[in-house]
Structure 1
Amino acid sequence: MKETIVFVHGMSHGAWCWEENFVPYFQELGYECIALNLPGHETPGSTQRISYSVNDYVQALHQAVAKLDQPPIIIGHSMGGMILQRFLKTGRCKKAILMSSVPPSGVLMATLRVLSKFPGAIPYLFQMNLLGVFRKYPQLMLNDLGLVDKFAPKMCAESFFAFIGLIVPISLKIAAPILVIGGSNDQLITVNEFTQTAKRYGAKLVIIEGGSHDLMLDEEFERTASAIDRWIS
């Protein structure tokens, strides 16, 4: 058995987004896989409002890692990437993968880009309804319309309190080896932001050509998964 990989999902997602492709892929390679449901994300498609903080999510990751015998490899997607960065302020892992991750500078620029490109998202923000934004503009997450029809209904309500926390920049040193990986067609985080994140942490950078924000759900998810496995190995 190889190392344990802990998967941390992003906003309005859940463990299901890893269980679709990545968990079977990495289990086949011999990894022990643990896909977290962050608090309030246990039920795919739930519209029930939640009000957790980013710190609540970070503590959930601490609790999951504390149950393991050895520090794991951790993959954090989008918001999960910021959760992983904050976790590493005091927590430990063997290796860290920031996938389509919120950069250390926070989500302010990404938010402004979305509102500029999709002004129809503005009313949802005033309503503090992030799920409404993603349901109206699922192309923010996925580029393939067929995948949108399959996965968008599984997205759940997200804590606006956590979103506010993601706006706050962070500054820290991380000792663990880091891989920054993102898609060239990501509609939320730019290639420049991925590049800046990698530079900030002295990390390896991999850009998946044509990849969306939800790299683990893309039709060609194997390109991302194999790049991660090669780096881990």
Structure 2
Amino acid sequence: MTTRVMRSDEWANPPSPVRREVLDAAPDGAEHGPPVLFVPGYGHGAWAFAQHWLEHTAARGFPGYAMSLRGHGGSGADPEARLRDYVHDVTQVAAGLPKQAVLVGHGAGALVVAMAMARYPVRAGVLVAPVFGGLGTAFGLLRRNPGGTLPGLFGGRVSLSASQLLSRAVQGTVAQGYARRLQRVPSGAQRELIRRHQPEAPVGDPPVLVVGSPDDKVVAGSALEWVARRYGGSPLLFPGMGHDLMLDARWQEPIDAILDWLEKAR
């Protein structure tokens, strides 16, 4: 992986400014860890981390932040948003934090984080159930959920069901409530995931952890292994959990493992 310093297209056509929603949770006692910025995937907002992981991170002594990408949650709308706009949002929020941050991205948000790490010198990076795109991902979703996936191939909305996102351990009404909160993703950003992305190398060679589940119905095990190998490791797996690890019934297990890893990586 190589890092490209000059990006002339972004100088000529910079991302449009938008309002950015950022939720935060401060430790009750003394801080003993770097700030952790959570970045949700497509369709999700900061709420997905505020449900469990944000406060739990603060309780462990790490200042926690969760943002919504443009067009998601309480952030400003941008119907023409593309991946580069999301990367811009993440790097701007991270650069505004009081200390060098840890970036934690979920789903397509993990791809955004991987791309942001080539611009912002993170303390560490965590890629949770990463969606780096590719035809394998598209065809896998099409096979499991043809009605919800097919419109996305023609510029429409990709709809993921509660059963694709969460394990059966989550109560049905709760799971359906989470699924109903998912928002429409701009067609341009959605189409960009048809091809597999290979982000540039992170600035400064920070430690990177890949986390997922072998029972994820969105990200195949082979995709998890591929992403982990790119960063010189193996994925940390949580069997029996769904794609949205931060909302699943056993949500505490992966976030505690992530924070344990951060404590050792310092």
Q: TM-score, normalised by structure 1?
A: 0.89
Local SS of the residue matching 1:215: coil
**After TM superposition, which residue ranges in structure 1, 4 or more long, deviate above 4 angstroms?**
none
Partner of 2:62: 31
Name which of structure 1's ranges 177-186 and 66-75 shifts more when overlaid on structure 2: 66-75
Local SS of the residue matching 1:74: strand
The offset of 1:90, in angstroms, is 1.9
The offset of 1:184, in angstroms, is 1.8
Higher helix proportion (structure 1 or 2): 1
Local SS of the residue matching 1:203: coil
The offset of 1:3, in angstroms, is 1.2
**Residues 50 and 157 in structure 1, CA contact (< 8 A), matched pair in contact too:** no
Show the 5 A alignment for 1:1-233.
1=31, 2-43=33-74, 50-103=79-132, 106-126=133-153, 128-131=155-158, 133-134=159-160, 137-144=161-168, 145-168=172-195, 169-174=197-202, 175-233=205-263
Local SS of the residue matching 1:80: helix
Following the alignment from structure 2 to structure 1, what is the Cα–Cα distance between the partners of residues 199 and 182?
Answer: 30
Name which of structure 1's ranges 203-212 and 160-169 shifts more when overlaid on structure 2: 160-169
**Residues 129 and 213 in structure 2, CA contact (< 8 A), matched pair in contact too:** yes
The offset of 1:43, in angstroms, is 4.4
**Deviation string, structure 1 residues 51-71 (Cα, Å, up to 9, x no partner):** 310100000001101112322
Greater RCO, 1 or 2 (C-alpha within 8 Å, sep 6+): 1
Distance change in 2, residues 1:173/1:123 (3 Å): closer
Unaligned segments of structure 1, at least 5 residues = none
Q: May I ask how many residue pairs the two structures share in their alignment?
A: 225
Following the alignment from structure 2 to structure 1, what is the Cα–Cα distance between the partners of residues 150 and 208?
Answer: 37
Let me know the Cα RMSD of the aligned residues: 1.9
**Residues 79 and 102 in structure 1, CA contact (< 8 A), matched pair in contact too:** yes
Name which of structure 1's ranges 21-30 and 200-209 shifts more when overlaid on structure 2: 200-209
The offset of 1:23, in angstroms, is 0.5
